Amino acid sequence: MRKKLFIFFITILIISSYFIIQNKNNSRFSWAQLLFQEQNETLNAIDTAQESVVSVISSKELTTIIRNKETGKTKINSGREKITSGSGVIIDENGLILTNKHVITLKEKYSVILNNKEIYDAEILAKDPIRDIALIKISPPKNIKLKPIHFADSRKLKVGETVLAIGYPLGKYINSVSKGIISGLHRDLAVKGLNNEPIVLNNMIQTDAAINHGNSGGPLIDLNGNLIGLNTAIDAGEDLGFAIPSNELKKSIYSYKKYGKIIRPKLGVRFIMIDPMIAKFLGLPRKNGAWIHSGDGKPSILKNSPAEKSGLRDGDIIFEVNAIKVTEDLPLSEIINFYEPGQKIGFKVQRGNKILIIKTTLGKFEEEKN
């Protein structure tokens, strides 16, 4: 009897060991499959998008006078010298290109270098009045076929998704690629403008994909090769990059194609998005919404703005716009951009212990003049 039991237990042990080994092998095989699949998706995404990525460079006339000491004769050499560089992305077959506004700030000549190294002069068409977005255009020969990038819906993005940044880092390495994940959504970032004035970039995509100087204006893409954002800023101390979401970009493109310039709806408030932690810390009566407050000592209600005319006040909390709840995932700035200048909208506002209904007609932010 003991012999039979011993044989039974040995048999069970052998069978169990076999299945454990098989499971480990299957697990290793599954991980290998996943890694191979992501590598293939990465390669396909780069292949899909890279022809749409361009380099944007500015240059100026450079004249050099050379004097021959022996003969006393002078020779004048003329040419162009590159000053700055950035990136851009082709959005239609007619040569329309999306880039950052800060890439084209100088009053110099701009050129675009395609993925095939062909160079074309660029015309500045429009600059967004409130976002770091600009549109430029090239006119290559008809036999040159441009490849527009495809847009993804940035409302569907999730933290943790794999993303790729393509651009012209440091003005040296054309169409370089870096890989990472979306590490945050709906981020607000304080940066310095051209004259060192503080600027807040709202509703940005945060990524740990390496973004360097020169990547500005280049695309942030998903593993389908679709545009999810425009690389715009970095937090060098934290090795983080920030991109304008694709739906914001679509709004600027739509406006240009409709009006011949980029315009934005104007409410005229400075605000801070709140959550339960911020509300508790500041002693606010609501746990979500847009708290009208500048945070830097400047007026929170712009003079002669629709907000001022409607009766909105500093300290009000806007928590609904036309029955759309204002949340961290759907901030006030994004909701306002659903509408056109001249449209009437209504707010639900918390003022102290009171709930108010306030209506206004949206104004208009005009594009900057070149």
* Strand duo 74-90 + 96-99: pairing: antiparallel
What pLDDT, on a 0 to 100 scale, did the predictor assign at position 320?
A: 97
Question: Which of the four pLDDT bands, split at 50, 70 and 90, describes residue 168?
Answer: confident
Catalytic residue, chosen from 85, 87, 216, 300, is 216
List the domains of the chain with CATH numbers.
52-137 (2.40.10.10), 154-258 (2.40.10.10), 264-365 (2.30.42.10)
The alpha carbon dihedral of 207, 83, 137, 48 has a sign of negative
Catalytic residue, chosen from 87, 102, 246, 333, is 102
Kindly state the average pLDDT of the residues 162-179. 82
pTM for the model = 0.80
Q: What is the DSSP letter of 144?
A: -
Enter the tokens of residue 109: 């000549």
pLDDT 10s digits, 120-137: 999 999 999 989 999 999
What pLDDT, on a 0 to 100 scale, did the predictor assign at position 62?
A: 42
pLDDT 10s digits, 89-120: 999 999 999 999 999 987 778 999 998 889 99
Catalytic residue, chosen from 128, 132, 222, 316, is 132
Residue 132 appears among annotated catalytic residues: yes
Residue 213 appears among annotated catalytic residues: no
Residue 150 appears among annotated catalytic residues: no
Question: Which of the four pLDDT bands, split at 50, 70 and 90, describes residue 308?
Answer: very high
User: Would you state the torsion angle of the CA atoms of residues 225, 337, 244, 130, taken in this order, to the nearest 10 degrees?
Assistant: 140
